[in-house]
């Protein structure tokens, strides 16, 4: 179901989105990703949220943001309510939904892995639940021969038979071949588009798959956006962030989006293992990726053999929802209950330090499709939302493991009023350094603490100091 457009998301769209209903020209005043990141961090520091910028009492807050973003520029962007109402109506008639990092429905894998670098807004169409299933990312060049197309389609079909979601970018060549193979075999597909989301969702073939829950298409860019090389490069990290393992079927060397995405994953991000095709004609690009640490694809021919690929995958940061454990600030429970602390266990996800989540009375619901807002409702700002504190206490533990880590969380947070190294924490708690590292890493993933360089050590996040 389509999520409600929350007040926070409305504000973020006004600040960052071109709001183009069809063809048109975007505003040159839009906040860039880095500018919005600075603004969001500033709002969090003063215990406010994006929705407060369009409240009736926003004048003082806009002035308070002047050191970060020019006040008059913010006013002009926030005054685009009528444009927003028009474009929302257009999106809703096409079943396009929008979520922001301030929403509980935002893909948790992206939030956990990319943190503040996760796109402020995600547009999409189809079943959002597919974005939490992980799966196999398959990427490659646009211009390939028929033999590689057949090879890639076979990989997609195998992923479908194994019940693994296929994650790719929807580009011509390898991406489309992998997605087509999985879909034709009855599998599920998550497509991360760099352009033309609206056009793609209106394709008759895609429409049926979207409605049937077999396909979800998302993009961090405006649904009307055309192709842009930079956008294509940037979306690659989203593909890897949504997957459990990845396969590069073909790649140029030192150029192209496939190469850039794979090398970023190998050298920096390291979300998932990167495999490269190991049969057929080789290439300089694939050989270079092997030298950087990519693994040879084991060429699995059946479901059991494919499992080997995922056995070496990094642990995924997201788990299926479970009620009764509130891990998002100010939202309903959305994450699975944690197990006993371990370095390799999936970490619960909290809201990024960039935004606050609206209080429960305004929390978006994924169960209802709301009609497009009347223009007046967006020209007239929503009522002010009470400021959120940095975090909401975790609900009562439901298992012995929960109870254990609740005690650990309290003990560590009481220690980290000043920076401490993992060895110092281990000494204070009388546990091994390895155990202390596991607990500290989990709290980093929860957003409770952070690891800083100067002075070196772990410390409570600024937002947590207000607790």
Q: Do 418 and 449 fall within a single domain?
A: yes
Tell which phi-psi region holds residue 163, choosing left (phi > 0), alpha (psi between -120 and 50) or beta.
left
- pLDDT of 270 over the 80 cut: yes
CB 465 within 8 A of CB 452: no
Q: Do 233 and 301 fall within a single domain?
A: yes
pLDDT for 1: 59
Q: What are phi and psi of 98, to 5 degrees?
A: -135, 130
- Dihedral over alpha carbons 98, 228, 16, 357 (to 10 degrees): 40
- pLDDT of 255 over the 80 cut: yes
Q: Do 427 and 370 fall within a single domain?
A: no
Residue where a domain terminates, one of 283, 311, 339:
311
Whether residue 337 lies inside any domain: the answer is: no
- pLDDT of 347 over the 60 cut: no
Grade residue 402 by pLDDT with cuts at 50, 70 and 90: low
CB 121 within 8 A of CB 197: no
Q: Report the alpha-carbon distance of residue 446 to residue 222 in Å, rounded.
A: 30
pLDDT for 26: 59
Q: By 3-state DSSP, what share of the chain in percent is helix, strand and coil, each rounded to 5?
A: 45, 10, 45
Q: Do 76 and 155 fall within a single domain?
A: no
Grade residue 445 by pLDDT with cuts at 50, 70 and 90: confident
* Candidate from 34-38, 283-287, 327-331 with smallest mean pLDDT: 327-331
Whether residue 350 lies inside any domain: the answer is: no
- Under 8 Å CB-to-CB from 300, ≥6 apart: which residues? 158, 306, 308, 309
Q: Do 250 and 301 fall within a single domain?
A: yes
Whether residue 188 lies inside any domain: the answer is: yes
Q: Do 63 and 41 fall within a single domain?
A: yes
Q: Of 339, 317, 400, 388, whose CA–CA distance to 52 is shortest?
A: 388
- CATH number of the domain bearing residue 219: 3.40.50.450
Q: In percent, how much of the chain has pLDDT > 70?
A: 78
Q: Do 116 and 83 fall within a single domain?
A: yes
Whether residue 394 lies inside any domain: the answer is: no
Q: Report the alpha-carbon distance of residue 269 to residue 240 in Å, rounded.
A: 9
Q: Do 226 and 261 fall within a single domain?
A: yes
Grade residue 356 by pLDDT with cuts at 50, 70 and 90: very low
Whether residue 328 lies inside any domain: the answer is: no
CA 136 to chain centre: 16
Angle made by CA atoms 359, 372, 22, in degrees to the nearest 5: 120
pLDDT for 136: 98
Q: Do 247 and 288 fall within a single domain?
A: yes
Q: Do 120 and 141 fall within a single domain?
A: no
Q: Do 246 and 163 fall within a single domain?
A: yes
Q: Which tens digits make up the pLDDT trace of 92-107?
A: 999 999 999 999 999 9
* Candidate from 126-130, 251-255, 338-342 with smallest mean pLDDT: 338-342
Whether residue 316 lies inside any domain: the answer is: no
When divided into structural domains, the chain yields a total of: 3
- pLDDT of 352 over the 90 cut: no
Angle made by CA atoms 352, 357, 362, in degrees to the nearest 5: 165
Q: Do 196 and 291 fall within a single domain?
A: yes
Long-range contacts of 413-419 (CB under 8 A, 24+ apart): 413/443, 413/448, 413/449, 413/460, 413/464, 416/449, 416/458, 416/459, 416/460, 417/459, 417/460, 418/459, 419/452, 419/455, 419/456, 419/457, 419/458, 419/459
Q: Report the alpha-carbon distance of residue 182 to residue 214 in Å, rounded.
A: 10
> Could you tell me the residue range of the domain that residue 35 belongs to?
7-126+358-379
Q: Which tens digits make up the pLDDT trace of 403-431?
A: 677 888 888 988 887 788 888 888 888 78
Whether residue 317 lies inside any domain: the answer is: no
- CATH number of the domain bearing residue 404: 1.10.10.10
* Candidate from 23-32, 163-172, 248-257 with smallest mean pLDDT: 23-32
Whether residue 33 lies inside any domain: the answer is: yes
pLDDT for 454: 72
């Amino acid at each position: 179901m389509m999520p409600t457009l929350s007040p926070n998301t409305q504000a973020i769209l006004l600040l960052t989105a071109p709001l183009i209903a069809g063809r048109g020209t975007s505003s040159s005043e839009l906040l860039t990703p880095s500018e919005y990141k600075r603004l969001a961090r500033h709002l969090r520091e003063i215990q406010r949220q994006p929705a407060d910028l369009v409240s009736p009492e926003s004048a003082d807050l806009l002035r308070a943001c002047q050191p970060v973003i020019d006040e008059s520029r913010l006013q002009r962007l926030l005054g685009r309510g009528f444009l927003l109402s028009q474009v929302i109506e257009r999106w809703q008639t096409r079943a396009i939904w929008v979520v922001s990092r301030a929403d509980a429905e935002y893909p948790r894998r992206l939030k956990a892995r990319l943190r503040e670098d996760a796109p402020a807004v995600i547009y999409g169409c189809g079943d959002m639940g597919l974005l939490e299933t992980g799966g196999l990312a398959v990427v490659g060049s646009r211009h390939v021969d028929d033999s590689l197309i057949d090879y890639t389609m076979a990989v997609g079909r195998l992923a479908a038979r194994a019940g693994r979601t296929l994650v790719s970018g929807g580009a011509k060549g390898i991406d489309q071949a992998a997605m087509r193979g999985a879909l034709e075999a009855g599998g599920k597909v998550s497509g991360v588009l760099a352009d033309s989301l609206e056009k793609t969702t209106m394709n008759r073939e895609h429409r049926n798959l979207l409605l049937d829950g077999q396909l979800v298409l998302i993009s961090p860019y405006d649904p009307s956006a055309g192709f842009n090389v930079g956008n294509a490069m940037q979306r690659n990290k989203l593909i890897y962030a949504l997957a459990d393992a990845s396969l590069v079927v073909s790649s140029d060397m030192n150029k192209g989006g496939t190469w850039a995405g794979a090398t970023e994953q190998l050298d920096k991000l390291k979300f998932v293992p990167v495999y490269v095709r190991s049969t057929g004609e080789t290439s300089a690009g694939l050989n270079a990726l092997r030298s950087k640490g990519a693994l040879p694809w084991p060429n699995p021919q059946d479901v059991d053999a494919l499992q080997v690929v995922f056995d070496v995958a990094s642990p995924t940061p997201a788990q299926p929802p479970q009620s009764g454990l509130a891990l998002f600030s100010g939202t309903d429970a959305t994450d699975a209950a944690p197990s006993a602390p371990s370095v390799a266990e999936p970490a619960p996800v909290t809201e990024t330090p960039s935004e606050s989540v609206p209080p429960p009375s305004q929390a978006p619901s994924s169960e209802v499709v709301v009609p497009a807002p009347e223009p007046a409702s967006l020209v007239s700002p929503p009522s002010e939302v009470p400021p959120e504190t940095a975090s909401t206490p975790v609900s009562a533990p439901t298992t012995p493991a929960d109870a254990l880590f609740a005690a650990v969380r309290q003990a560590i947070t009481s220690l980290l009023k000043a920076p401490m190294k993992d060895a110092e924490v281990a000494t204070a708690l009388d546990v091994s350094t390895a155990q202390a590292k596991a607990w500290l890493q989990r709290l980093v993933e929860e957003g409770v603490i952070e690891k800083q360089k100067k002075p070196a050590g772990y410390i409570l996040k600024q937002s947590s100091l207000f607790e």
